[in-house]
Amino acid sequence: MLLSRFMKNFILSIGLFSYFNIATSSHFDGFRDQVILLEFKSSNQYLHVGNDSTIKLEHHDLPENPSKYSMWYIEPLDDKNFALYSVKSKHYLRKQPNSSVGLGSRGEDAHWVVSANGNLTYSFQNKKNGKFLNGSKSDSTVSLGDEPDKWHIHQAYFQPYYRLEAFLNGFTFTSNLETLFESFGSVVFVANAIFQIDQESVGSRVQHSYEDSHTESFAWGLNETLGIGALLKATAKIPLFGGLETTATVDTTLGSHQDWTKEDSRTMSYTAWITPNSSGTYEMSCSLKMLQNATMPFTAEARLQAQAIDKEGNVLPGKFAPPQVIKEFFKKAGCHYSFSGSIDSDVSVTIPVTGNMTATYALSSVTTINKKVDG
């Protein structure tokens, strides 16, 4: 699936800007809240979490094929101290009791002071014991030592190769339908259908049907911005009288105004039965009980994800950015939501959203039959 030219240019501009800032930064602040890879300069190997949770050095093909075992999330603790969170193991890089390097909780042993060495390299000093993160070119081990080693930092996720997506679901409408109908409801005449009852049909149950199409519209609006350029898909089940519901769907790319209108053509069938006691001309009247431009506040859930794509914009199935990267991408795209209460999975971030829908749609149909002329 190819991206639109607008979306390609937009995402490309954000990604290039981020990459340039980080690659030329002379201090570590440019890496705050980023997912990175740490390359040991002496051997061009990367800080890696083994299957047995040991810390070691490993070769990778970058940036095309980074491994989650070598991805670290930079978590700022204060102006000078940072924590390194393993994306794969979900634990922190820390000094172990025997002064080796391992994984564990985010205590003081997991606090690192980061210093720039020049030539885009950095050193990592453990706050607890003052030792430096060292690598070994000969046996690919990682340890703590008295002298600083030089590490290159790479951004693990480059935004032009990800498409932002948002899926809205779990709509809950807080308005009472009866109250809405009092303010926005009306009965709209549709048509009259004339039909004949002959003498042979008198006393029998007679059915007559009529069909008519009308347009229903659903104008959506979110109270805050989700993110410009994100592909939005939404399915809202909207309540009708009697416990029934209708469905409105949206499939669009979000622009600077986070509202949109969806119109659907809906066919209504009107059916009535009568057991006539005399022949003649009968009239079936059809009308709709409708809400007209009714404002319906709602709450919903937005599931955010960053889908991997190739340089041509084609989707790479099953490949997504992790939660920390998703949040960063959406923030750069203008998302105004707080992620403090988000629900994170391996490939998505879910947040609560609120908004309003202005709807014009049929709640139910009204059908009556009356005799007009005797046979």
% of the chain exceeding 90 in pLDDT: 18
pLDDT in tens, 54-96: 999 988 755 445 677 888 888 888 777 889 988 888 899 999 9
b/e for 211-232, b at 16 or more Cβ within 10 A?
eeebebebbbebeebbbbbbbb
d(CA 194, CA 281): 7
292-334 per-position pLDDT tens digit:
888 888 889 999 998 888 777 788 888 888 888 888 888 878 8
Q: pLDDT-based confidence at 5, cuts 50/70/90?
A: very low
Question: What's the confidence (pLDDT) of residue 269?
Answer: 74
Q: Is the dihedral of CA 312, 10, 162, 171 positive or negative?
A: negative
**257 — pLDDT class (breaks 50, 70, 90):** low
What pLDDT does residue 19 have? 29
Element (H, E) at 6: helix 5-24
Average pLDDT (122-139) is 93
CATH number assigned to the domain covering 162-374 = 2.170.15.10
> 1 pLDDT band (50/70/90 cuts)?
very low
81 near 112, Cβ under 8 Å?
yes
Rounded Cα–Cα distance for residues 228 and 224 (Å): 12
Two tokens, residue 77: 């603790």
Which residues of the chain form CATH 2.170.15.10? 162-374
At residue 129 the predicted structure's pLDDT band, cuts being 50, 70 and 90, is very high
Read off the pLDDT of residues 265-302 as tens digits, 9 standing for 90 and up.
777 777 777 788 888 888 878 888 888 888 888 889 99
What integer pLDDT is reported at residue 328 of this predicted model? 81
Query: Averaged over 123-127, what is the pLDDT?
Result: 93
Pairing of strands 121-126, 151-155: antiparallel
The mean pLDDT value for 135-144 works out to: 93
For residue 160, pLDDT over 70 is answered with no
User: Is the N-terminal amide bond of 63 cis, ω within 30° of 0?
Assistant: yes
Q: Which DSSP state fits 141? A: B
Q: CA 71 to CA 103: how far, in whole Å?
A: 14
DSSP secondary-structure letter at 199?
A: G
Contact 278, 334 (CB under 8 A): no
Which token pair is 116? Answer: 């720039």
Q: What are phi and psi of 162, to 5 degrees?
A: -140, 140
The DSSP string of 14-74 is HHHHHHHHHHH-SSGGGGTT-EEEEEETTTTEEEEE-TTS-EEEE---TTTS--GGG-EEE
What is the pLDDT confidence band of residue 2, given thresholds at 50, 70 and 90?
very low
Q: Residue 338: pLDDT band by 50, 70, 90 thresholds?
A: confident
User: pLDDT band at residue 136, thresholds of 50, 70 and 90?
Assistant: very high
What local confidence, expressed as pLDDT, does residue 61 receive?
A: 59
The pLDDT score that the predictor gives to residue 245 is 77
Residue reference for tokens 């700022």: 76
In CATH terms, 35-155 corresponds, of 2.80.10.50, 1.10.10.10, 3.40.720.10, 2.60.120.860, to: 2.80.10.50
Per the model's pLDDT, the better-predicted residue between 205 and 53 turns out to be: 53
Q: Tell me: the pLDDT tens digits for 176-194?
A: 888 888 888 888 877 777 8
Mean of the pLDDT values across residues 172-176? 83
pLDDT in tens, 8-62: 332 322 332 232 223 323 345 555 557 788 999 999 999 999 888 899 998 875 5
Query: Between these two residues, 166 and 373, which has the higher pLDDT value?
Result: 166
- In this prediction, residue 242 carries a pLDDT of 63
